[in-house]
Structure 1
Amino acid sequence: MSCRKLPVFLLAAVVIFICGWFSTRMASAGEGTFNDIQGHWAERVILEMNAYDIVHGYPGGEFRPNNKVTMLEAVVMILNTLGWGEEAGQADLSGLQFHPSVTWGREYLALAVEKGMLTRAGLPQIDSQRLASRVEVAALVCLALGLTPDASQVTFFDTGDIPEKYRGYVGAVVKQGIIQGMPGNMFMPGEPVTRAQLCAILSRLIDRKLIPPPPPMELVVGRITSMDMIKGTVLLRNLEGEKTVLLPADITILTASGTTGPEFLKTGDRLKCIVDVRNNVRYAVLMEDASIANSVEGLVVSFSRDGSDYKLTLETNDGDYLTCPVEDDARLFRAGSEINTCRPVENDYVQAGLDVNGRVVRIDIYPPERISGTVVEVGGASLTLRRQGEEEEYAVSPRVQVTRNYVRGMNFSELRRGDRVEAVVMKRTIFQVNLLSDVLTGQSGMVSRVHSKAIYLYVGDEEKRYELDEQVEVIRDGRLIDVRDLRRGDYVNFEVDGRGYVITIEVLDEDEGEFEGTVKYLDIYPTPWLTIALPGGLEMEYEVSGKVDVLRDGDRINLSDIIPGSQVAVRVEDGKVTEIEVLDDQNLTVQCLVSGVNPERRRITLEINDRYFTYFLAPGAAILDRNGKPVSLEDLEGYRVEVRLKDGEVDRLTIL
């Protein structure tokens, strides 16, 4: 939806430009400057607009930046900035009526009617002496660009002074950053616009890529890749590629702190140039790198030209889509090193640095990394893996693809602790996971002998021989060691693949560390001792500290509440257990003595390691003798039995 035409009665009469506005061309930045703008807040934009051939000075080298602008001057300036000056010369004036004072510039007014900036009926009322106010310039710009009115952006302290018909126009240009407020959050709607202010407004149209530079001029922003001061050539690179510009030897180059000459430029400098059709530089600024005010990251959906702007569209880690404009000379980095020859492509994972205007000024591309490890914890949007003895947590993309053995698809939530996986990671975010289901994980044992291609381990009460993978990883204290550095008697966790080859060995420190396993024995008196069986059968025995913390579901419990057969995680410090977390005591199998039964309530009391625990029988629980035949609950008291618990209830009981 475009802005409506400016109401007739709000348009003032306009007058021909004084001859100095057009007739006296200012020299380029390399030839001189106006003598009345040095140190003026709008010095740069005045020089830019002069380099574009949009504004010129007065005789004697003056620009008169604080002179007020008439409505006709504003119309001509806007049309010339949009590159419509030649069209004005061909505008159809037939049937149009103008105020008698308008003797020059009627073709611009006629073109403004064609473009929807003015109305045909309002032309006779335009007085050439009327100055252009801030709201009138806002309306002309909004109408010329076809912006959609948006009064929601009008939040100035003097909003009430802005005529209601203008508020949408003002909001539209404020939203685009074309016109800014005055000090104190005031808009001052009736204040006349000065030559300097109008230069700043129109310069923003080009700088913010709302319009291209007026032909035949071109704006080039890039980094210097090479120079030839003898020939006066400078090679600039940006996302478009490389462009050679001709830099006059006597040109004055503006900087943040003053000016400099071509001889002080160097490779890597960021240069903003306005060049003519022959690539001669008319204006040059040595620019500082833009500060990054914010950053976003995600997968690249697209990176393409949209009109005069590059646009980067990302799918963020939250699954949202975000599109940002990109500066022509945005810096590109891959794996931390700056690159000059490529752009981000679809499915690259990037972090985009944005300036205060929300434009991308830096793009860091993170190449995919393939890693492997053992699952420690599966979160809703995270995955913790153990790699080379260290636990690392990764974010997980909403688009994560999970497979089993690279073939069958599965859900991320199906991954379980102890699974061996390979993952594709970009900037610590996982995008692909493959479950290696033929890897036997979580084995443990004690080293017996080590040969060049095989290792002997005691697993439970049996010594077993395993072939060693050529790339076997052996880890002690979080560092890789040679397999030959293993010692007889070392306690280890190890992983075996489907071929029967050991692929990972982690040496356990008996006196320090965290272990998971099954409680085999727990002696309470006189000194507490705990025997824990690790997966694979390795048993480790520890004295329990008198200050041990015992937890279940985050709540503290007594040491005596731990049921042998429970799955636990223990922390060992200086050879003593200092913390025990019960992971699962509702699903286990234990051998014990039946000390009491209650048939009416289907409840049974078991003596386990000299302590007593009472359980209900699950519906349909199997109660069997040693031959597998059903027996009555009343006949069990005093028998030694094997009990299987499921969800905290006796699911199966067999007499031994």
Structure 2
Amino acid sequence: MLKNKVLFPIILSVAVLLAAAGPFAAEAAGETLLDINGHWAQQYIAEMCASEIVTGYPGGLYQPDQSVTRLELLASLVRVLGQDEQAKNLARETVDYYVPPPDWGRGYLIWGVQRGMLDKNLLEQMAGPATRAEVAALVCGALQISPGSGEPDFEDAGQIAPGYRGLVSAVVDRKIMQGFPGNVFKPDDEITRAQMAVILSRIIDNNFAGAEIQFQRYRGAVSSIDFTNQLITLKMGDYGYLNKILDDDCEIYLKEKNARLTDLELGDEVTIVLNNNERVVFIKNTAQQNGTESGTDYHNYAGRVDSLTYSEGEYSLHLTDFDGRQMVFPVAAAVTINQDGYTKEIYSVNQNDFVEVRIAESRITEINFLDTTKFEGTVTSINSSKLTVRNDDGEKETWQVPGNVVVEGSTEEYEDIENGSLVEVKVYDGKAIIIEVIEESSPEGEVDSLDTSGTWGITIIKDNGSSKKYAVDDDVVVRNNDGDVIDFEDLDTGKRVRLRLNSDDYVDLIKVIDEAGNGYVEGEIYSLDTSGAWGITITDEDGDRKKYDVVNDVTVKNSDGDSIDFEDLDTGYMVKLRLNSDGDVYRIEVIDESGSSVSGTVNNLKTGSSPWIKIEKSSGSIAKYYISNSAYYTRNGSSINLRSIVIGSEVEIRLNNGKVVKIIVTDDLNITLQGEITDINVSSKRIKIRQESGNSFSYYLANNADLENEDGDEIELEDLEEGWDVEIKLENGKIEKLERK
């Protein structure tokens, strides 16, 4: 069957062909597979079903131990390569050789011939059951893997036909197939549907699958779980965070055993699989259990209470743990709450309390307030992760500062606490979890602005890049660098000053330390350097360009005064750079963002090599933009891939040197779009379309959806046909109206 290879030692007679409508008969929508529970390959079967590479048979059966025909295997390999649509399109082509039935297999067989892996004169043999040696051959042909040069290292290697040995070595070396106990390969054993699911899973895990299949999958560490809203957040290494909603039918496997969402632990490394609606339908990892409670798994989490909400008769507690990870848990009606040896009511739990919660069967069953110790003194050393305080007896204590630290008193942000401040620290397990600033030190910084209307005020920018406004006493004394008294209104921005606060926290003395300050520069961003040591190059009003080094903890404010990441800056922004005494940038203020982004409707899109996007602006004009190879794409704050963008979506694009570096999908649920119908599922009321971009999308019909033919007459779902060009109006992601064009 493989060209130039004698794969099948004899010409097989045509076996009884499958009577099903496809390589695997369509499973009823949402129907559970009844015959895989407890099967050794249950996880792999569930994973491949979730990925829509295989499905079950009518009646909710998968038949895991049934043999697989060569044609069925070929079809599954085409699917795992993401080329199912191409194969189906080939079924319509006329070829100069005989393609045997069944009809569903025609496109796959032609695909195999065009791929160069099948002999067009021996296609009838594809109806027979596949042996393990033949699987190795078909896998190598589909994935275009060259045969290995060495002999397979199995005890029964002599039973592997010579033409297969290099192919078996190739798939074993790539961890796609493996042997059995006793170091045997069993080349003549027929492969089962369960074993096939395992092989397909390994193809994906070893990055041999097609791009469309890989785009369905993400790997990362569990950062937070919102049990109330069924939302999971993954930390994607250095690529940030990914937020995804779980589908109602999502399956979870730990150590290849079916599990529940509550069995996942923060920090677990997982792989998730998304459906066409970007919802999680499958999760797998290695379980890390926390404990058991009367036979029930439980988990303990400690952290800061962000809020306690009440909806539809149930409380939910929002918690940030000591690693800064956020999570939400529903609270059991019979929850037990303990504080200082007393039982409390639910209303005793307040924002910024520190507690440990116990989770059992998806709900908080116990809340324990954390026991803390107090320490009061003067801050002698402070950085982003450690705090050192000296008390009146000269004793020093140093603690770790977690990401969920609470700061109270005259300072509300941890970054604003300075050496010399008087504080009271509440400590738990070596961590400073609550810091009350009793009295600030004399704050210093550069004058950013003055307010001389009504109650006077002064805003200074501190050395850490943060800014803060202070109320100024009417009788404030202001002294310049020479010690002379000057008027408050005579202070200039950019001067470095030290402030003294009175008992009412009003500034009653301002001392100018440096008339020049460290200075600032303004200009338009020409380029950003985010690799290694950060840098920024700007063009000033004279057209001169200069590059500045940027400190790692730089403060960046957008034009609305909100904090953003350094990487979120774009070329074309007008900015003000604040420089420290070394001439490095410690604060960046965006003055004007105009001209660096474009908003509108996606008019057309090209994915693959040299991608581009056409945007129809509100004026009606259409502009084409090429997309940078390093561009990234988001929807609702979560990363997506370019193929997930629907022509017709509302988007905002960010430009760098004329190329798109970021696409933000602002709405793809309430839009009008066009495409060709490629699949109709009447039972689940779902339609699949392919757009001009070549990308496919599935949508469900809303209740009472309006369907019309080309004459405007109302029709039923059963009247739709594949190949129709249609225009679809979506409301909340469902088809409200469909018209044939």
Q: TM-score, normalised by structure 2?
A: 0.36
Whose radius of gyration is greater, 1 or 2?
1
